[in-house]
Amino acid sequence: MYQQTSKIIFLLGLLVSLSPWANEKPVVSVAKVKAEQVSAEIKVTGQVQSRFNSELSSGVSGMLEWVAEVGDEVKQGDVLAQLDKRQLELAHKRLGVQIRRKQVEVRQATQSYQRLVSLKRSQSVSQQAIDNALADMELAQADLELLMLEQQQALDNLNKATIVAPFDGVVVERFIREGQGVTSTTPILRLVNLEALEVRVHGPLKMGRYLKHKGYADVYSTKQVTRLELRAIVAVSDDRSQTFSAYLPIPEPLVERFNIGQVVSVSVPSSQVKNHFTVPRDALLLDDGRYSVFVLDDEQVAHRVDVELLQGSGDRIAIKGNVRPNQRVIVRGAETMREGETVRILSANEFPLAT
């Protein structure tokens, strides 16, 4: 009986040793240690806004004949509203008639002056008469120039009676209805561009210089983190607020992640930037109150390295320990890893979570 049992155990051991899983290496995904500039950060509130958001007026007075509907999508140059142009057209035509009349006067004054100049040689006309004729001619020419300027102004007013879109956008609000009178500064409608978006953020004034030096910020919204470049920062405040304003444009491919008016959280550096080694947060292991990561050598052998956590930056975190730039750390699969174990690295296609 004992011999039969021993044979069975031997056979089972042989089967396990010959099994394809017996020498299977643990599979992992890896990322590289990076040397990056990192600083301590705080989160402040920001809001998504359009870079092009305008209340449009006509620039001239008149009665509104037509205005676009709320929700209309328009392109730059499309007509948004139309004022009654009859009085403006009459003013333009009236100046045209006055210009023609003044041109006749200029021509007569010029001929009179030229005639007197020709008679001067025969001593039949005084110098005073010639001077008076010259003054009349020059005054007539100046009056003609003034009328031509007035005509250009009248044409400009006529063109302003047709309000066109200064940029692509959507009509989001109408302030005036058809048949109502408007002045030159009365807002008629509001046009908003839904594609050119940016995040406007306010933060403590003393931290503005740190954000300017960093040049970008991480924006947190709807379980997503988006890194946006800094367009401008206004580190000017008043006695009460003591805050700066910063503007982070949203690239066109990322616009769908945000909505105008949406409130977001923005990471703002609260100290000067320093050079540190960073790893993905998922590479960290916590055991008995100490943090560590598994690094790989050239033979794909895993070695555990204790690290000290510093500042975080998005999905990466700065660490202090026996690591070096471009060294590979295990991101997925380190939970069951043992010191000195040889691993097999999966590609991004084989392991979608690989960083």
* Averaged pLDDT, 269-274: 81
| Interacting residues of 337 by C-beta distance below 8 A, sequence separation 6+ | 26, 28, 294, 302, 304, 330, 343
Residue 351 confidence class, pLDDT cut points 50, 70, 90: low
pLDDT of the residue at 348: 57
pLDDT of the residue at 242: 87
pLDDT of the residue at 118: 85
Q: How many CA atoms lie within 13 A of 294 on its CB side?
A: 23
pLDDT of the residue at 48: 96
pLDDT of the residue at 2: 42
Residue 319 has a CB neighbour count (10 Å cut-off) of 24
Lowest-confidence region among 70-84, 128-142, 152-166, 322-336: 322-336
First to last CA, the chain: 56
Counting residues of the chain whose pLDDT is more than 90, the rounded percentage is 52
- Is 13 a residue whose pLDDT tops 70? no
Residue that wins the pLDDT comparison between 11 and 269: 269
> Which has the closest alpha carbon to 161: 72, 76, 65?
65
* Averaged pLDDT, 43-60: 94
- Is 5 a residue whose pLDDT tops 70? no
Residue 312 confidence class, pLDDT cut points 50, 70, 90: confident
Residue 216 has a CB neighbour count (10 Å cut-off) of 12
pLDDT of the residue at 6: 45
pLDDT digits (tens, 9 = 90+) for 192-223: 999 999 999 999 988 888 888 888 999 998 87
pLDDT of the residue at 22: 45
- Tokens matching residue 275: 């050079």
pLDDT of the residue at 74: 95
pLDDT of the residue at 36: 85
Q: How far apart are CA 332 and CA 47, in angstroms?
A: 35
pLDDT of the residue at 298: 87
Q: What is the pTM of this model?
A: 0.67
* Averaged pLDDT, 21-48: 82
pLDDT digits (tens, 9 = 90+) for 134-149: 999 999 999 999 999 9
> Which has the closest alpha carbon to 268: 230, 218, 316?
218
Domains of the chain, first to last: 25-37+274-345 (2.40.420.20), 41-51+196-269 (2.40.30.170), 53-83+161-192 (2.40.50.100), 85-160 (1.10.287)
